[in-house]
Structure 1
Amino acid sequence: MKFHGNEKWSIYNGLASTAAANMVNGYIPLFAISVLGATNQQIGLIVSLPSIIGMLALIPGAIWLNKVQSKKNFAVISTFVARLLFSLILFVPFLGSPYAAWALVILIALLNFPGALSGLSWQSMIGDLVPEKRRGEFFSSRNRYNTIAAMAVTFGTGVFLQQFDKGHAFPYQVLFIAAFLFAAAEVYFLIKHKEPEKRKNEEIVEEKRKKFSLHLFKHKPFLAFVVSALLFNFTAQMAWSLFSIYQIKEANATALWLSLFSVTNQLAQIISIKWWANAADRRGNSFVLFIAAAGMATAPALTILSANLVYLTLINLWIGLFVSGTNLLLFNQLLKASPEKGRTNYIANYNFLLSIVGFIAPQLGVMLLNGLGMAAAMNLISLFRMAAAFSFLFVALKLERRVMAETI
């Protein structure tokens, strides 16, 4: 598939963004635990607090975005501010214990305010710039390139960190500086996008009038997507903190092993993402999304079967096969279920609800860990995930066919 114009700049933008994120994000738990001495509670807050801040950002964010003439400029500004705030983590180790760990928690939470605005504006912008008929193939290709970049950056970062004592802050500070340089390139490529002619005033007025409203959920395809997606995201995010805690505290994984976990996961995504896109074209997005979500449901239960690092590497290979499909198909389903007119409001409403889920779910996961232990908590989460995955099957077999029949 050949890319020109906006699609080409989106590919470059994605590569720079992926490099910046994967250089540091995957190692934040290790940084927090090994360098700053963070507790399980603080790790849980690092995962969950950004969601509640993001939720607060989406309320004014959707209003601001509907007022602006250029979604691209909005995305550029919010992305730059988010990346600039992230670079401030460079100075956190200088605060010392016990303030450093709490400073990291607070800073990661706060930077998600512009981060949420960045994500909302990018999703709305790219939905306008890429025609629906090209989205499946384009996003599968973009995700594949991003995953290759993530794999290379993650492995290189793991090798770099392995050269230092895991309790030293210096190598992480080097990474924060390098990540900011990639983030600057990300913003540059975002600026290079070209928007279509400014929207007509009546279209902008219509979007302003909608803002946040229950009226949006009267659109049946969107409602069906929101219910099933939130159910699955809730059960998926319950385990986010637990994976890191298990790998670092129980399996004693070093930075190099963490990078190997990520690399094998990303390698599986590269191998499988084209298959998921083609399968969705043949069988329907919702049905194939059910298969991907069901595969992801096995992750927590399989992870805690052994603390052997080679075994955990292989499990991450297995999980990656389904992560690629879930990420691709969830985003495609969101765009498909959101009408073109007023899409920003639909996406904002979904992200608003997703932020609530993202705050509650990791905290509930840590509560299960503290109350039941790692094995019981992870097995329960696998069962919850599997039950949620069946909601996509229900949408595929019942709701989508019913809506299709009503429109004929």
Structure 2
Amino acid sequence: MGFTKNEKLSIYNGIASTASTNMVNGYIPLFAISVLGATNNQMGLITSLPSIIGMLALIPGAIWLNKWKSKKNFAVASTFATRFMFMLILFVPFFSESGYAPWLLVGLIALLNFPGALSNLSWQSMIGDMISEDRRGNFFSSRNRYNTIAALAATFSTGLFLSLFDKRDALPYQILFAVGFLLAIFEVIFLFKHKERVSKPEIKQEVIEKKKLPFAVFRYKPYTAFLICAMAYNISAQMGWSIFSIYHIKEAHATAIWFSLFSVTNQLAQIISLKWWAKFADRRGNTMLLFVAAAGMASAPVLTILSTNLVYITLINFWIGIFVAGTNLLLFNQLLKATPDESKTNYIANYNFLLAIVGFIAPQIGVFLLNQFGMNFAMALVSAARFTAAFSFLVVALKLENHKAFRARTIEESV
């Protein structure tokens, strides 16, 4: 497809953002455990605390965003603040001797999610206005594919770089934080170059409707149906986030190079499968295909614990990547589809607000299960929860199909 100027800038922005964050994000668990000596509970907090901070940000976030004349400028400011705070983590190892370094890492990762949540909210709302619905499927599949290629290159080169050093050495991580911030500057520049149409009447309407946010959004049935399924899925998905990292490091004894191979194979699978997901979503619909993607994700925990062989785990990450591509693409597309054009920012903010609550609770549940029942049983429970969530998408899809068939018959009979 031919890209508009905004679409090209969004792709460049996504590549810079992905390269910047993937240089270190995937290695934070290794950095926390091997360099700083973080415990299981601290690992759980690294995953879950940002959600609480993000939730607190979303309370005023939608109001602030609606008051700003430019969603783009709001996104630029919040994105820069997020990346700057992320860069500050390079100073954390200097406090290792005090014993507080793991807690400083926990605190910084939590706090940077305040501007991070605002950045995510404003970008979603901005891009939803800029990209028309009929172009979203192909555009986002293309953008995600380019992002995944950037993630693949950044992750693999980072893994090779880290493998040159002792896994307990903090210096290579500090270098990566600095380089990641330089890439983030380009991310902000491309974001700033977007051209937007500022609609003052719509903003005023959203400011008025923000007072009805907690209740009014639930009266829109397509959004409520999506919300129930998405929350069920995210609870089950995020329960396993910390457990996977702990399993890879403590059970399988993965090093930085293996972490990079896990990510690279996962990302390769995403690149290969993205167009397939976009193509079949257009034919079958987002909701039905979300069942397939979520069910595939449900197989990940039980397949992972079958062996600690690192080659086997690498292959499993390829399998998982196929379904990660589907869930990432389809969930976002379905969110935009399920929200009405009026007050879109408020609906997205409400979704992110609830997602933040889930993001705090779910990883803590996962760590609790791990501490109480051990690795294998915890992983099995996560798989079971994910399968249950996947079926919620199927139930909604079947109800929608029955509803459409009923309306079609009613129209025919009335004619």
TM-score normalised by the chain length of structure 2: 0.96
Q: Is the Cα–Cα contact under 8 Å of residues 22 and 155 in structure 2 kept in the other structure? A: yes
The within-5 A match list for 1:8-407 is 8-97=8-97, 98-196=99-197, 198-201=198-201, 203-211=202-210, 212-399=213-400, 401-402=402-403
Q: Is the 8 A contact 1:237 1:362 kept in 2?
A: yes
Once residues 26 and 34 of structure 1 are traced to their aligned partners in structure 2, the CA distance between those partners, rounded to angstroms, is 14
- 2-structure distance, mates of 1:223, 1:400: 17
Question: Take 1:224 and 1:174, find their aligned partners in 2: how far apart are those partners?
Answer: 45
Superposed displacement of residue 204, structure 1: 1.9
Runs of at least 4 residues of structure 1 off by over 3 A? 403-408
Q: Which runs of 5+ in 2 are unaligned?
A: none
Q: 1:105 to 1:403 in 2, by over 3 A?
A: farther
How much has 1:4 moved relative to structure 2? Answer: 2.2
Q: Distance in 2 between matches of 1:210 and 1:79?
A: 26
Q: 5+ residue gaps in structure 1?
A: none
Code of the aligned partner of 2:2: K
Partner amino acid for 1:273? L
On the 8 A contact 1:300/1:381 being kept in 2, the answer is: yes
Q: What whole-Å deviation, never above 9, does each CA across 1:28-84 have from its counterpart, x for those lacking one?
A: 000000000000000000000000100000000000011111000000000000000
Q: How many residues align?
A: 406
- Taking the aligned partners of 1:232 and 1:400, their CA distance within structure 2 comes to 21
Which whole-Å CA distance do the structure 2 matches of 1:270 and 1:200 have between them? 39
2:305 and 2:358 mapped to 1: Cα distance?
24
Structure 1 residue 380: Cα displacement? 0.8
Say which SS state the counterpart of residue 172 (structure 2) adopts: helix
Structure 1 contact 224–399 (Cα < 8 Å) conserved: no
Report the Cα offset of residue 213 of structure 1: 2.2
Tell me the CA shift for residue 209 of structure 1.
Answer: 2.0
Alignment check: 8 A CA contact 2:69 2:200 kept: no
Offset at residue 406 of structure 1 (A): 6.1
Q: Is the 8 A contact 1:221 1:403 kept in 2?
A: no
Q: Note the C-alpha offset of 1:402.
A: 2.6
Q: Distance in 2 between matches of 1:171 and 1:143?
A: 28
Q: Distance in 1 between matches of 2:117 and 2:403?
A: 34
SS of the residue 1:163 aligns to: coil
